[in-house]
Amino acid sequence: MNKTHAHYLPPLYQDSPEHGRLILRDGSTATIRFIQPQDQDATQKFFERLSPESRWLRFFSLAKPDPKLILSMCNPTDPAAQTTLVVTRVVGGELQIIAVATYWGQKDKTAEVGLAVDDLFQGKGIGTLLLERLALLAVRNGFLQFTATTHASNHPMLEVFRRSGFPIQEEREGSYVLLKFSVQPTESSVERSETVDRIFTTASLLPVFQPKSIAVVGASRDPSSIGYRILEELIRNRYQGPVYPVNPKARVIGSIHAYPSVKSLPEPVDLAVITVPLPAVMSVVDDCAANGVRALIVITAGFAELGGSGSELQKQLLDKVRGYGMRMVGPNCMGVLNTDPNVQMNASFSPIFPPAGTVAMSSQSGALGITILDFARQRDLGLSTFISVGNKADVSGNDLLQYWEEDPKTDVVLLYLESFGNPRRFARLARRVSRSKPIIAVKSGRTLAGKRAAGSHTAAMAASDIAVEALFNQTGVIRAQSLEEMFDLAAMLGNQPLPKGRRVGVITNAGGPGILCTDSCEANGLTVPELSKRTQVSLRKFLPAAASVSNPVDMIASAPPEHYRKTIECVLNADEVDALIVIYIPVMNTELGPVRSAIAEGIAATRKKNGANKPVLACLMSDKEGSGTLQVENEKIPAYRFPEAPAMVLGKAAGYAEWRKEPPGIIPDFEDIDPKTARKICETALKERGPGWLTAQECRDVLKTMFLPLPQGDVAKTAEQAAEAAAKVGYPVALKLASHELIHKTEIGGVRLNLKNAEEVREAFNEIRKRLEVSGKVQAVEGVIVQPMISDGIELMVGATEDPSFGPLIAFGLGGIHVEVLGDVCFRVNPLTDKDAARMVRQIRGFKLLQGYRGHPAADLEAIENLLLRISRLVDDVPEITELDLNPVFALPPGQGCMIADTRIKVGWV
């Protein structure tokens, strides 16, 4: 394994580089797609519209391009010979091609590339985006290098190539420059692509979150209407910009002059909030485009949430919006809020405007929106922005992650998710964003009515929620089990530093809550260590003899406020404590006010000493003010009603802090693998037999291409061949039924172990065959696999299965019969990094066995991780593999590697 050259992920839009949305440098959008034969006239017109200078720089001639060239470009049938992408946008009311990019295949896996961008759209980053997309498509079709020739005076195009992130070689020939560069993704090119995508996406969402002016289309004088409520909320919360009500039947709404249409507004507006009836939405979008509106919030329902014709209508809406270059929130959403005093925008029908803060939130459910905002206000949780994404036709959670990553007023991101649009893109974005800003997510739809029928252990255990859990685990996303837990976590992460360790000090005035908190700390992976003698001596100076000072510190029920102040100073300053939980229960009818003040004073005093960077959480078990926050000078201390909550919060915060401190993982490259041959084997099997399981020999051949550890052995079709194979590998041997139709060998007596000579081998072969003849299954048999016995080692399993939303999932756990009995298996979403593989090995409950247990030798952990990474690469490079099971895999002692004893691989059409 070579860790110096990482197998880097391609850019964020790898799933469809040839189709979909482009976000340009100015924040507007366009559509990219493959060229089609019917585009010939539009392409000809595009080149005719180019200025003479642009045409000369592109073709080195002022003449219009040869129609034969255009005819050739409009032929998408042979991507190995030529591929052309076009970018479209509505210009002057007409959908036009505004950019063209082509590569022409040459010899030695090299292609020549050419780009042209409409003069009106130059300088908006289209050339850079097209080059990235074209490079991805070229790699898919087997090309390794691009060449391009341009005039030396064509500085914009030269800059596109030089800033692409690809290593460029330039040769000057007179007034022309010949460029050559590899199109294989590199760390530099991927970083460049992600940076461009983030900057452009952020710019596109500025008119959504920070509009300079807003039109409410469908504003009404009826107080019960959505249009009235949105207009009222914008005005009542003092939006810092002009608001234009639009209603064709009213001259004045709420004492504000109204306009009959968006086209009649006196100036262009950044944002239009659309609340009109469904039949009017399309024409309103046309009017918005005519006015120069940059973004839309479509509150109106009746689209994809209804399915059928609603889904088709939403597609038409999206095509129209993108054709005009606008962004859109919704449809079927509640709206958008921004608490920044410079914006002060409630562009929603929520009557609740939360306090300003540093927590941003996206909700996929509009119905929950008002409840969520009300709960945030009750908990005194300040929000920076809130958005209800509705049907997510355009603006998605992935877009929002990039915006909030760049937003200086956002420190924590909350997500209420019902589905993932593009899980792989989410994974790449979340992994990056989580490095600087915590992401807390609630994902609904956790349960399954039942497990789907599957032919492998891996597929049977993998469920959609397992994929979500794996995705969050890999990307640092903190999963909350409920909305309440989400706000509990946000209150801490938005107001307190991350813990530097898992050692927690607990202060209480009642033993019961202290014990409950301690138990919860232990259950959440925290420790409640005994306090040092020095700390205990300090506490004994003022606490009564009946008090417990070991940890938790029980000051007893009669503890006055002053004891809270002094105890906090002692414990929070202690070196043996990384975080502090302060519990108060009013057992003596003491007023909460003095205790709150004493807690605040103790924390404030300690912040100036050793406890400056330690998180503090409170549990105020009082009917009044039990939850919310406790103000301490310039910080807020989260307060919870019950003692288990702060322990849960600290446990998840500590796990996140550890994840964030670890260096990012890499996807290693391997110099000894041949995935192309593996894919050919799978493709051949599909062509010959259709979807299904590979034969035993095909499985072995596939694993060999990835240099995976297989025992010596052969497939034998007769008893005599089995005896000959056994003599080659050496006794004792194992015989295993080889069949791509009969999957569970042991259930039909298809496994014989520890055979010591040729006679036993022949006898075992014949017994297996007789069993199959009796059951009528002999036709499904390829023979038997003859392998040497592997007597040592710990039985493991490694697998992969295809999730329809998340792609391949990789599984790891204890193997053999332990798979069904214990279910000690963990999953990750592919591709795996080296860090993912290491965590998987250490996550299973049986990891103690791999470390060495009660005299048994430890396992070769490095070899197991290497195996996981090679399987990850296999299923990533061979998409035809839909299920894979290696079970058992024998983990041998350190330095001896591991050995795959049995393999099943299922293939299907891509």
Task: Tell me the mean pLDDT in the region 429-437.
Answer: 96
Amino acid identity of residue 458, one-letter, is T
Question: Helix, strand, or coil here: 180?
Answer: strand
Half-sphere exposure at residue 889, Cβ-oriented, CA atoms within 13 angstroms: 31
Question: Helix, strand, or coil here: 143?
Answer: coil
Average pLDDT of the chain to the nearest whole number = 90
According to the model, what pLDDT value does residue 818 have? 61
Q: Which of 592, 437, 440 is nearest to 509 (CA)?
A: 592
Calculate the CA dihedral of residues 555, 558, 560, 565 and round it to 10 degrees: 10
Q: Which of 172, 177, 183 is nearest to 148 (CA)?
A: 177
According to the model, what pLDDT value does residue 822 have? 65
Question: DSSP secondary structure string, 549-584?
Answer: -SSSEE--TT--HHHHHHHHHHHHH-TT-SEEEEEE
Inter-axis angle of helices 644-661 and 483-493, to 10 degrees? 60
Question: Helix, strand, or coil here: 467?
Answer: helix
Q: Which residues pair with 733 in a beta bridge?
A: 755, 788
Task: Tell me the mean pLDDT in the region 340-366.
Answer: 95
Task: Tell me the mean pLDDT in the region 177-205.
Answer: 89
Q: Does position 539 have pLDDT exceeding 60, yes or no?
A: yes
128-142, 439-453, 522-536, 803-817, range with the lowest pLDDT = 439-453
Residues in contact with 295: Cβ distance below 8 Å, sequence separation at least 6, in sequence order:
204, 205, 207, 208, 211, 270, 271, 272, 326, 327, 328, 329
According to the model, what pLDDT value does residue 166 have? 84
Q: Does position 212 have pLDDT exceeding 60, yes or no?
A: yes
> How far, in Å, CA of 477 to CA of 908, rounded?
32
Helix (H) or strand (E) segment spanning residue 602: helix 592-607
Task: Tell me the mean pLDDT in the region 549-559.
Answer: 95
Q: Could you tell me the pLDDT band of residue 578, with boundaries at 50, 70 and 90? A: very high
Tens of pLDDT along 8-55?
Answer: 333 333 335 578 899 999 999 999 999 999 999 999 999 999 998 887
% of the chain residues with pLDDT over 90: 71
Q: Could you tell me the pLDDT band of residue 571, with boundaries at 50, 70 and 90? A: very high
According to the model, what pLDDT value does residue 782 have? 84
* Dihedrals phi, psi of 753, to nearest 5 degrees: -115, 160
440 and 478 Cβ atoms separated by less than 8 Å: yes
According to the model, what pLDDT value does residue 13 have? 34
> How far, in Å, CA of 354 to CA of 279, rounded?
34
Inter-axis angle of helices 366-378 and 483-493, to 10 degrees? 50
Tens of pLDDT along 691-710?
Answer: 999 999 999 999 999 999 99
> How far, in Å, CA of 187 to CA of 165, rounded?
8
**Would you give the DSSP letter of residue 364?**
S
Q: Does position 745 have pLDDT exceeding 80, yes or no?
A: no
Task: Tell me the mean pLDDT in the region 344-366.
Answer: 94
Task: Tell me the mean pLDDT in the region 54-70.
Answer: 73
According to the model, what pLDDT value does residue 449 have? 37
Question: Hey, how many other C-beta atoms are within 10 angstroms of the C-beta on 254?
Answer: 16
Task: Tell me the mean pLDDT in the region 513-527.
Answer: 97
Question: DSSP secondary structure string, 266-296?
Answer: SS--SEEEE-S-GGGHHHHHHHHHHHT--EE
According to the model, what pLDDT value does residue 107 have? 87
Q: Could you tell me the pLDDT band of residue 714, with boundaries at 50, 70 and 90? A: confident
Burial 411-449 (b: 16+ CB within 10 A, else e): bbbbbbbeebebbbbbbbbbbbbbeebbbbbbbeeeeee
Q: Which residues pair with 752 in a beta bridge?
A: 735
Q: Is the pLDDT higher at 447 or at 309?
A: 309
Q: Is the pLDDT higher at 462 or at 821?
A: 821
According to the model, what pLDDT value does residue 840 have? 96
Which stretches does DSSP call E strand in 447-513? 478-479, 504-508
According to the model, what pLDDT value does residue 446 have? 63
Q: How far apart are the first and last CA of the chain?
A: 28
Calculate the CA dihedral of residues 420, 422, 426, 429 and round it to 10 degrees: -150
> How far, in Å, CA of 204 to CA of 296, rounded?
11
Task: Tell me the mean pLDDT in the region 72-78.
Answer: 90
Tens of pLDDT along 289-302?
Answer: 999 999 999 999 99
Q: Please report, for residues 377, 391, 616, 801, 879, the alpha-carbon distance to residue 685 in angstroms, rounded to integers and kept in the order given.
A: 60, 41, 61, 18, 14
Q: Could you tell me the pLDDT band of residue 60, with boundaries at 50, 70 and 90? A: low
Angle among Cα 467, 493, 564 to the nearest 5 degrees reads 135
> How far, in Å, CA of 702 to CA of 682, rounded?
8
Q: Please report, for residues 9, 181, 247, 767, the alpha-carbon distance to residue 191 in angstroms, rounded to integers and kept in the order given.
A: 10, 17, 47, 60
> How far, in Å, CA of 69 to CA of 74, rounded?
9
Question: Taken in order 871, 872, 874, 880, is the CA torsion positive or negative?
Answer: positive
> How far, in Å, CA of 218 to CA of 248, rounded?
9
Rg (CA), the chain: 32
Q: Could you tell me the pLDDT band of residue 274, with boundaries at 50, 70 and 90? A: very high
Query: Which residue is it, tokens 């007596």?
Result: 749
Question: Taken in order 573, 576, 581, 582, is the CA torsion positive or negative?
Answer: negative
35 and 100 Cβ atoms separated by less than 8 Å: yes
Q: Does position 625 have pLDDT exceeding 70, yes or no?
A: no
* Dihedrals phi, psi of 714, to nearest 5 degrees: -145, 165
pTM for the whole thing? 0.88
Amino acid identity of residue 572, one-letter, is L
**Would you give the DSSP letter of residue 527?**
B
According to the model, what pLDDT value does residue 59 have? 63
Strands 356-363 and 383-388: parallel
According to the model, what pLDDT value does residue 744 have? 67
Angle among Cα 326, 331, 334 to the nearest 5 degrees reads 110
Question: Taken in order 583, 585, 586, 591, is the CA torsion positive or negative?
Answer: positive
